[in-house]
Each structure stands twice: as C-alpha cells, then as structure tokens.
Amino acid sequence: MASEYHRGEMEIQEQTSTYHLFVMLTKWGSLALTALLVFLVLAFCTPTSFFGSLAVGVIIAVGGYFVLREHGGDDAH
C-alpha cells in the first residue's frame, strides 16, 4: 500500500508568487493603515495640530519603511 504512493511533480511557481505578493501587500498595507490611523487619531482626538499629526504620521511611515524593507537578495530570510 505504501509502495503505491507516487510523489507528484507539480510546478508551484504560481503559488509561490501569489504567497509572496500576499505577504508584501499585507506588510505594506499594515504600515499604511498604521500611519493613517495614528494621523487621524492625533488630528481629531488630541489637541495636536494638523501639521503635528501629519509629521508624526510621516515619521511612522518612514521609520516603518526602513524596518520593513527587504535587506538582501533571494537567500535572505
């Protein structure tokens, strides 16, 4: 019975590409939503000015970019 098992030779390049796209969109979408929500909360729920809130949102977006960017080639984890 175990000898009847045949290991498949399926090409999974499309699934791999879809997974990497999903991870990338989730990562950058989370950063964008975080920066936007921080900006909106500071702008409307605190006495912080519009430009102060915008500055904090931009700082979070730029800091997040440097944290979330890819650091190496294909062999990087």
Cα Rg, the chain, nearest whole Å: 21
Q: For residue 74, what is the DSSP state? A: T
Q: Report how far residue 32's alpha carbon sits from residue 25's, in angstroms, rounded to the nearest whole number.
A: 10
Pull the structure tokens for residue 61: 């977006």
The pTM (predicted TM-score) of the whole model is 0.74
15 HSE (CA, 13 A, CB side): 3
Would you state the pLDDT for residue 75? 58
Give the model confidence (pLDDT) of 19-59 as tens digits: 999 999 999 999 999 999 999 999 999 999 999 999 999 99
Q: Report how far residue 77's alpha carbon sits from residue 75's, in angstroms, rounded to the nearest whole number.
A: 7
Would you state the pLDDT for residue 71? 74
